[in-house]
A and B are shown apart, each in its own frame.
Chain A
Amino acid sequence: MSILIQDVSKRFGTFSALEHVTLEVPNGSLLALLGPSGSGKTTLLRIIAGLEVADSGSVRHQDEDITHYSARDRKVGFVFQHYALFRHMTIAENIGYGLRVRGVAKPEREQRVAELLKLIRLDGLGSRYPAQLSGGQRQRVALARALAARPSVLLLDEPFGALDAKVRQELRQWLRRLHEEIQVTSVFVTHDQEEAFEVADRVVVMNHGRIEQVGSPAQVFEHPANEFVMDFLGNVNVFPGRIEQGKAVLSGPELASPRDAHPEARRAAVYVRPHELSLQRDQSSTSLAARVVHVNPTGARTKIELRALHSDQLITAELTAEQFAELGLKSGDTVHVSPRRVHVFEPEYTI
């Protein structure tokens, strides 16, 4: 294990930022801390970096206890959301700073800086100042600066948060390739699930200072551990229903439940993703009648807003362009909705 966080808690005044968090970061992995704001993900990252001190618990790095090490002794590269480049130093001086304070000789330093400038594709711009670069270029410089002293861990705090959509997209792919190239254990913080899924090979979903689920992007998306994860990762339709003898019963259609049955009926929420709903013109035994409220063609997929006829519930469905063309839906049409796949989260069983 590259990093092992054990039972770490942190409070800011009365606000509990982290509650007994335990997490392992395997060597060479690219891990995303994903969660809404206030979930403690940045605090956790700063505790790994040593910029924040945990109230309790320990942080180990390659089996060495670094809980009480200061930030400068941790051999960690940290990339700040707003770059935090030294504004009065040139790009080359910025990148070489970590080597300079560690007493690396000038020729060696210059060689490493040139190497990194090439890596971030900014060769020739070493004598510029941060203010003369674009946001995406500055973020790349910040990354090179963090990598200069060959840290064993790279930490990135919302690395693409302050960039516009197109640059963000490019940088994500670039970071992914860079990680494949240099294989340094990396942890980054994001609140954007698309970003986490695209870049990371492991995703940690956090909420209210706790870890809700850890897994590969596919695992987390396909098998969410609880309602929060299901809800946080993309759009979802929630149907009130109940579980009865191995079946999840919506208000109307009956569906096979993925879980073992309890003999008695219990209330449960049934979660269905918009793209896992099928729409038909004809009624079937497991379908729900609904009226089309709004059709929103967004590129490759078409979003359709529906209102259930008997319960007035709003339902979002997503169709491919072909499916949509086949059905030929307009606002006001009545269709029959049936889920292809559902997630049922049974409430805690209490007596």
Chain B
Amino acid sequence: MQAEVIAYSPSRSSQLPPQPQAAVKAPSLRRAQRDPAWVRWGLTAIALTAVTLLIGIPIVYVFVEALADGPAVYLHNLFGDPDTRHSIYLTLTVVPVALVANVLFGLAAAWSVTRFQFRGRALLTALIDLPFSVSPVVAGLMFVLIFGLQGYLGPFLRRDGYALMPYLTSALVVLLAVVAYALFRPRIASQRRGLWKHPWLSTLGGGSLLFALLVVAQQRLGLWPQNASLKIIFAVPGLVLATSFVTFPFVARELIPVMDAIGPDEELAAVSLGASGWQMFWHVTLPNVKWGLAYGIILCNARAMGEFGAVYVVSGHIAGQTDTMPLRIEKLFQEYNLPGSFAVASVLTLLAILTLFIKSRLEQHMPSHSPATSAPQGATKS
């Protein structure tokens, strides 16, 4: 039997009729995509006017006023006055502490919200946003109500506030010890001996024992002053608390969508390849969210430095003690010291412009712009 042979002529494509030259672009298409000139120019003009009037001129004016009497006076206004100097120093101490607290909180919150399913997850997500919707003044008042003299904890803190410190420091040490226990527990079950075999007994029993020992030791040794007032309101701890509260959501809010988009698969892959939780975090999670984290830190920093309302309530504006930069600006302004006020304002404005610059650079690295995120998130399957 003979096989059927079908031959294809290689010149087939050349037999096609010649392609018509690229057709003339339909004019109607262009018209549909473009609005009339007066609309385009009109809208641009409105936007430009608004930006110039509301943003451009005031910013320029801040610097003009600050430098009105020359750079020498400007520098003297900034650094000559000890109260102003202290306000800059205070802002530069309060803001980093609040930032560190919020980075830790933001990572923990984003992690728990995106990687675990638990009761109250929706509530936690809503609560993270609460500081955005609460007026900063109300936030400040809250802290006054808790820690202030007429507040719930006020009388106790005033009488013997430092009595709390042994408990707080001991709790912190115990927490660190529990984390260390989890990290150093042998990986292979057969290598676990003694206390490594009983994680609950070890952490609960050992933890409470350590806690009790530390508390008693600190009390016996008299590490903390007795019967002294621990000031939170009208002092630096209050400033840190208020600033942290107001800037609470920034890091978590930036991280949650990034971690949601990336999904848990890479982390699971790391674990199944033998990575510990610690290694997984540093090798996989952090590199994946680093730009989102940096973006959140920048926004958080900008907000923390400029915070006025909540800090205003808890600071009590003691010049040279609890005045941060925004509070100092307001005070100088009230004292009709306009050059001084504008000098400090110019520093904050400069920091804001710097933040904006870094932010726009970071946006190029955000996952939504990067090509590496093409892998879709693993959908829940059978």
Contact = CB atoms under 8 A, between A and B. Distances in A.
Interface of A: 17, 35-43, 49-51, 68-74, 76-78, 80-88, 97-98, 101-102, 129-131, 145-146, 148-149, 157-158, 162, 189, 191
Given A68-B189, A98-B273, A84 B268 contact: yes
Contacts of A69: 189
A145 B276 CA distance: 17
15 contacts: A36-B382, A37-B382, A70-B271, A72-B271, A72-B272, A80-B269, A82-B265, A86-B283, A101-B283, A129-B372, A130-B375, A131-B371, A145-B273, A162-B376, A191-B382
The SS class assigned to the B binding surface is helix
Contacts of A146: 272-273
A49 B272 CA distance: 7
A86 B284 contact: yes
- The size class of the interface chain B forms with chain A is 20 to 34
A145 B288 CA distance: 19
Given A37-B382, A38-B382, A97-B270, A84 B265 contact: yes
Contacts, number: 106
A136 to B, nearest CB: 14
A211 to B, nearest CB: 13
Contacts of A37: 381-382
Nearest to B279: A101
B257 interface: no
B360 interface: no
A85 B382 CA distance: 22
Contacts of B378: 80-82, 84
B169 to A, nearest CB: 33
B268 A149 contact: no
Contacts of B155: none
B382 A41 contact: yes
B198 to A, nearest CB: 14
B368 interface: no
A82 B276 CA distance: 22
B382 to A, nearest CB: 5
Contacts of B275: 72, 97, 101
Given A82-B375, A84-B269, A101 B382 contact: no
Given A37-B382, A88-B287, A101 B273 contact: yes
B52 interface: no
A219 B373 CA distance: 43
Interface string B184-219: 000111000000000000000000000000000000
B377 A82 contact: yes
